[in-house]
Amino acid sequence: MTRLTRKYEFVDEAAADAAIALLPTDDEGNPTHEHLVTKLGYLVVTPATYDDEGEELTAAVLSDVFAVDVYWGSEADASWDSAIVFPTPMGIHSFGSSSSRDEYAKTYCTLFPDSLYCNPPEPEDIP
Amino acid sequence: MSLYDDASLIQVPSLYKDGLLVSTVPEDRSGDFVFSRGSNLAATRVNSSGFIEKGYENLLLQSNTFSDAAWSTQQSSVTNSQSGYDGTNNAWLFNGITFNSRIQRSTSASGVQTFSIYAKSGTYNFFRVRLDFSGGYYEQYFNLSNGTLGSSAGSTPIDSSIEAIGSDGWYRCFFSLNSATTFVRIYPASGNTSINGAGSIYIQDAQINQGLVAYPYLETTTASVSGGILEDQPRLDYTNGTPALLIEPSRTNLVNYSEFFGYSSWNTENGNQIVTQSVIISPDGAKNGSKLETTSGSDGQRKFWLQQNVAIGSPHTFSIYIKQVSGEINTGFLHITTGANDTFDVSQAYTATNEWQRFSVTTASAKATVARFLITGASNSQVYIYGAQAELGSYPTSYIPTYGTSVTRAKDLCTNSFATASSATLYNSFYSTEVKTLYILDQLLTIAVGENKLAFAFTPTTITISLNGSIVADATGTYDTTALASIQLGNDNGEDYSESPISGFYVFPSVLTNTELNSLTV
């Protein structure tokens, strides 16, 4: 069974929490849709800068959207589709799963077949 | 006849495969546990040799099929069935025809990674490896006549090395780097810095794995191949000397580079901290431990730190492995600050010894969405460091390696559908790192640091509990012990994890006597 890593963006944490709360559960409150939610929060767009003493000169610039990754046990819940995003599968948060990472990369290339990631140009030959 | 002959289920963690934990009893396998986690690269354990064992993989496809179409031969040829370093005939003769001969292929690997390949002299004694990334490249020559590194060009790798394999002229050549690698090229070389002319070398078993060292080779064809800990493999942890089942909640290591302390996300103050990468055998048994030297003698100028987003009001734990450098000052502090600079919310002193120790510090940010996790050495101190981890939680869980991004280890789940009678006895032995309170039905007991052996006999109206050889509770009441149709080890439906590795779990279909209970737990 290949679990799915899917990435989502919400306007803020409250919107993310609202979506999480709407995921279906049984009578005892247990999820009927196997999943693991990881709130990544407002991702750093530009890192903070510091002086030689380590004092902050400029604060980090954060994304204006709230990022959430979900590790679905099988299919992703369709009610979340409106918030789904597909960042390039390099240097992004993962659930430490080889199979899920490969599935995400394959899906990415299905959706974006002309992207540089899926069609890396041969680098300049420098003998 | 042994008391254990009466057990209907005996689980002593020892036999397992990916997705399954085998119980000794019953023999019809109805008591086996289904195990799931879904994380291999984020999961670690302490193995029977005492080292941290990881999941790892070879990201380079067709890793020993250099004739595959994915590998493009440029002014060169490859011939298989050559005598290899490992006694097989799986090596390749790699023959360059003219200037700039090479084989090459695209690849996709990001973050801290190590390229490795086995090679041996042919008519040429040198070869060159070049790895490209967007906007740059790494290039390294290797001398196969004497096992030394040759020239390098492009970006500077984190580390590079060549190691003799056996006595037949084979070497494993590798270099580690931090980039988003897109292309691999391998060239036979007539000399150091020269790829002119026609000549050959032998090659075998190329690999790109995440991390600062080359892991044991894994053969790939059309997909990456994993080794070490697998995605749904039960983790038998030997931290306490005997195997115990790790059952942990999901955790995210917020530290993007947990082993590569030279990356810019780790900050120094006034340049007073010097990191030397890959100088000592780390707790995982590889030479990927770093040395942290603090040169400043002044207070307030000894910070080595990184900054991460945190959730307000939630506890965060920062942990790192530390070992002393012999003869050097070996003390310092771990801190977490979530307010103004240098206002530590919490500090924990450390004294490094000759053994690797994991130190940790925990605090909850009440005021900031960004925290700084710091190591401050005493004046002119030197210590070895490895395996930094910052996680949302009140205690450190098992180490989660990261090589450029945060990584989440999914939660362990270990369940079966073994029915337990409404009047029965359960036994559970487990390890605890602290004294704490435990509830069983309406009874409260205190468990000790170390291994605890617990057995309790119950009926719908009674409960008797034995802990470490003594009866600690013997009560009556009204207990709902019906419908015990499944067993979950270490958690409750993926919540309320026990934090305690499990060394044994038994079910007896009868109510044992006090003497029998104590004989189980003594």
Give me the residue from B38, B57, B400 closest to A3, CB to CB: B38
Record: contact A91-B110, CB cut-off 8 A: yes
Give me the residue from B39, B270, B407 closest to A52, CB to CB: B270
What's the CA gap between B403 and B365, in Å, rounded? 26
pLDDT exceeds 80 at position B312: no
Give me the residue from B182, B250, B407 closest to A120, CB to CB: B182
CATH of the domain at B456: 2.60.120.200
How far away is chain B from the Cα of A73, in angstroms, using its nearest Cα?
9
B195 CB-near residues (< 8 Å, 6+ apart):
A127, B96, B99, B100, B101, B102, B128, B187, B188, B189
* Cβ–Cβ pairs < 8 A, chains A and B: 122
The answer to whether residues B443 and B396 belong to one domain is: no
pLDDT exceeds 80 at position B298: no
Record: contact A96-B341, CB cut-off 8 A: no
Measured between CA atoms, the residue of chain A closest to residue B492 is A30
Q: Which of B368, B386, B406 is the last residue of a domain?
A: B406
pLDDT tens digits, one per residue of B156-187: 999 999 999 999 999 999 999 999 999 999 99
Q: Is B50 left (phi over 0), alpha (psi -120 to 50) or beta?
A: left
Partner A, chain B 283-322, Cβ-Cβ below 8 Å: 300-301, 303, 305, 307, 309, 311
**What is the bridge-based pairing of β-strands B52-58 and B16-17?**
unpaired
Report the Cα A4 to chain-centroid distance in Å: 11
Judged by a CB distance cut-off of 8 A, whether residue B407 touches chain A is yes
Helices (H) and strands (E) in chain A, counts: 2, 8
Confidence class of residue B342 from pLDDT cuts 50, 70 and 90? low
The answer to whether residues B189 and B125 belong to one domain is: yes
In a domain, B57, yes or no: no
* B120 neighbors B169 (Cβ within 8 angstroms): yes
In a domain, B53, yes or no: no
A62 CB-near residues (< 8 Å, 6+ apart):
A42, A43, A44, A45, B309
Residue B373, CA atoms < 13 Å, CB-side half-sphere: 29
Q: What is the CA radius of gyration of chain A?
A: 18
In a domain, B453, yes or no: yes
Q: What is the mean pLDDT of residues B130-150?
A: 95
Judged by a CB distance cut-off of 8 A, whether residue A24 touches chain B is no
What ipTM was assigned to the predicted interfaces of this complex? Answer: 0.95
The answer to whether residues B282 and B371 belong to one domain is: yes
pLDDT of residue B93: 98
In a domain, B244, yes or no: no
pLDDT exceeds 90 at position B390: yes
Judged by a CB distance cut-off of 8 A, whether residue A12 touches chain B is no
In a domain, B67, yes or no: no
Residues of B in contact with A98 (CB under 8 A): 40-41, 55, 57, 224, 226, 231
How far away is chain B from the Cα of A15, in angstroms, using its nearest Cα?
16
Record: contact B183-A123, CB cut-off 8 A: yes
Q: Which of B107, B183, B256, B309 is the best substitution to test chain A (most A C-beta atoms within 10 A)?
A: B309
What's the CA gap between A58 and B512, in Å, rounded? 67
Record: contact A53-B301, CB cut-off 8 A: yes
Task: Write down the mean pLDDT value for chain B.
Answer: 93
What percent of chain B is predicted at pLDDT more than 70? Answer: 97
Record: contact A120-B108, CB cut-off 8 A: yes
Give me the residue from B100, B271, B405 closest to A91, CB to CB: B405
CATH of the domain at B174: 2.60.120
The answer to whether residues B388 and B427 belong to one domain is: no
* B115 neighbors B205 (Cβ within 8 angstroms): no
Q: Which of B73, B194, B408, B412 is the best substitution to test chain A (most A C-beta atoms within 10 A)?
A: B408
A124 CB-near residues (< 8 Å, 6+ apart):
none
The answer to whether residues B147 and B125 belong to one domain is: yes
pLDDT of residue B311: 78
The answer to whether residues B390 and B423 belong to one domain is: no
pLDDT of residue B269: 82
CATH of the domain at B345: 2.60.120.260
Judged by a CB distance cut-off of 8 A, whether residue A95 touches chain B is yes
Q: What is the mean pLDDT of residues B387-394?
A: 95
pLDDT exceeds 60 at position B305: yes
Q: What is the mean pLDDT of residues B68-76?
A: 94
pLDDT tens digits, one per residue of B419-447: 999 999 999 999 999 999 999 999 999 99
pLDDT of residue B270: 78
What's the CA gap between A91 and B110, in Å, rounded? 6
List the domain range (segments joined by +) for residue B211: 72-227
Q: What are phi and psi of B355, to 5 degrees?
A: -110, 145
Q: How many domains does chain B have?
A: 3
Q: What is the mean pLDDT of residues B390-409?
A: 96
Q: Which residue has the higher pLDDT, B335 or B236?
A: B236
Judged by a CB distance cut-off of 8 A, whether residue A125 touches chain B is yes
Confidence class of residue B141 from pLDDT cuts 50, 70 and 90? very high
- Token output for B521: 């737990």
pLDDT exceeds 70 at position B284: yes
Question: Would you tell me how many other CB atoms lie within 10 Å of the CB of residue A40?
Answer: 21
The answer to whether residues B419 and B293 belong to one domain is: no
What's the CA gap between B22 and B31, in Å, rounded? 8
The answer to whether residues B342 and B439 belong to one domain is: no
Measured between CA atoms, the residue of chain B closest to residue A63 is B309
Give me the residue from B100, B303, B309 closest to A54, CB to CB: B303
Q: Could you say which DSSP state residue A108 is in?
A: H
Task: Write down the mean pLDDT value for chain A.
Answer: 90
Encode A73-101: b = buried (16+ Cβ within 10 Å), e = exposed: beebbeebeebeeeeebbebbbbbbbbbb
pLDDT of residue A29: 76
The answer to whether residues B192 and B292 belong to one domain is: no
Q: Which of B406, B431, B461 is the last residue of a domain?
A: B406
Q: What is the mean pLDDT of residues A89-111?
A: 96
In a domain, B9, yes or no: yes
Which amino acid makes up residue B182? T
pLDDT exceeds 60 at position B21: yes
pLDDT exceeds 80 at position B297: no
pLDDT of residue B134: 84
What is the enclosing helix (H) or strand (E) of B253? strand B251-253
The answer to whether residues B371 and B491 belong to one domain is: no
Record: contact A71-B410, CB cut-off 8 A: yes
Confidence class of residue B336 from pLDDT cuts 50, 70 and 90? confident
* B322 neighbors B289 (Cβ within 8 angstroms): no
The answer to whether residues B267 and B122 belong to one domain is: no
The answer to whether residues B294 and B389 belong to one domain is: yes
Residue (of A98, A27, A41) closest to B37 by Cα position: A98
pLDDT of residue B341: 53
In a domain, B213, yes or no: yes
pLDDT of residue B107: 93
Residues of B in contact with A43 (CB under 8 A): 309
How far away is chain A from the Cα of B201, in angstroms, using its nearest Cα?
18
Judged by a CB distance cut-off of 8 A, whether residue A38 touches chain B is yes
pLDDT exceeds 90 at position B391: yes
Q: What is the mean pLDDT of residues A20-38?
A: 85
Q: Which of B353, B381, B406 is the last residue of a domain?
A: B406
Confidence class of residue B343 from pLDDT cuts 50, 70 and 90? low
In a domain, B234, yes or no: no
pLDDT exceeds 70 at position A50: yes
pLDDT tens digits, one per residue of B43-68: 999 999 999 999 999 999 999 999 99
